[in-house]
Chains A and B, each alone.
Chain A
Amino acid sequence: MAQAFLFKESASQTAGPYVHIGCTPNFVGISGVYAADSGLRMLSDGTKGERIRIHGRIFDGANDIVKDGLVEIWQADAEGLYNSPNETRGAADPEFVGWGRQPTDLETGHFAFDTIKPGCVPASDGRMQAPHISLWVVARGINLGLSTRLYFADEPDANSADPVLTGIADPARRETLIAVRKGDSYLFDIHLQGALETVFFDV
């Protein structure tokens, strides 16, 4: 599987317990360097789409809450287009970048993203994927950032046809990627280990 390239990718190292200094400095009281922490606000008044909140906590193998983590999300706009030069299908909503970054709260471990529900994006074979959000999780004790996806519980038909979800052999494990809706909020807890261990992908 490993092919020979000119160079090897730089090896990963843990983000450590102080990742917030570099990624969300205002959050840890380092003010006056950056005007605002990147990725904190994803929406403007002009952003098209249904407003939703994604929130949750990260749990370790002892079911303790991870309070020094950082979560990033990446998603399409309401029409299913990515705001990226690598997007080949058209221009995404200029009022929506689609990237968010949130620390886990230092006391409670909660993270929350105010965003929009993404539209559908095709897989490489042209089949439609169910609406989803990509997540990337780093923290002390995570040697290489963990990639996962959030799907929406109120999209049962799309979920049951999604090539990534159905590619997960154990149907019970697919449930770890499905966020449950309550009002305008979707709860997405992440379990690093244990009976509820979240599915992580080799992307």
Chain B
Amino acid sequence: MSKKGEESLPGFNRRDRQWHPDAFTPAYRSTILRSPKQKLVMLEQTLSETTGPVFGQNALGALDHDLIRNFAKPGESPIGERIIVHGHILDENGKGIPGALMEVWQANAGGRYRHKNDSYLAALDPNFGGCGRVLSDENGYYAFRTIKPGPYPWPNGGNDWRPAHIHFSLFGSGFAQRLITQIYFEGDPHIALCPIVNSINDPKAIDQLTARLDMEHTVPMDIRAYRLDVVLRGPNSTLFENRMEGN
């Protein structure tokens, strides 16, 4: 039943599940009851997995990529460190992915989310919403402006603090590429201490999520830049050899 995908797209490379975090990482307590216990069932990709929605620039507003301005009152700004976050969205083969929709969300400079379930002591910033989105350009590059988020404590059973981070969601061209992950910032001592970060086994995989200060794109007297490149699953042109498996 294994077939070369001759007539249609060959599909995406299989995910390396040693590289991604396991579902069950009990130091991050929320995974205990939310991790499937049965083995994942192998699915030979079909058009249902190789196709996916695309988004055009007309789906986005002019300020969507600018979290410094997209919620602020006229003439006002959010409090905190002004940063550009930018980089290349590419596939595993190194090819830039144009038109990839990146949606981001984050806490404000004090570490507080604009969400009714977040009751952290730090104040809400009346000029910061915490959401934004951007499409990668024709070569796969993205950039957005924001305020550097603050670290925050979270209820995980101990003295747990999240490193400063920006959550993001990415669409490639196929639904099998859907990915949500987080951007960290180099030099943050909380990275090494965080049970969510440490759900990832390989330090190289954590490093790949850690943005670097980028003086080259820092605008003097205005805003600092951080760079993070992001990799989505790439198309696999080799013969698909995995048989369908039970569980």
Contacts and interface: CB of A to CB of B under 8 A. Distances in A.
B116 A64 contact: no
A143 B25 contact: yes
Nearest to B49: A203
A155 to B, nearest CB: 15
10 contacts: A5-B234, A7-B93, A14-B31, A21-B114, A132-B48, A142-B31, A192-B34, A200-B41, A201-B41, A202-B41
A23 interface: yes
Residue among B22, B44, B180 with max Cβ neighbours from chain A (10 Å): B180
> What is the interface residue range for chain B against chain A?
35 or more
Contacts of A33: 61, 63-64, 70-71, 129, 131-132
Secondary structure at the A interface, as helix, strand, loop or mixed, is loop
Given A14-B196, A76-B48, A138-B180, A197 B19 contact: no
A61 interface: yes
A2 B168 CA distance: 25
B6 to A, nearest CB: 9
Interface string B93-121: 11000000001111000000111111000
Contacts of B182: 13
B157 to A, nearest CB: 13
Contact of B14 (A30, A123, A202): A202
Given A11-B21, A12-B20, 12 more contacts: A1-B242, A9-B13, A10-B179, A14-B28, A14-B30, A64-B33, A85-B54, A88-B9, A122-B46, A124-B45, A167-B43, A193-B37
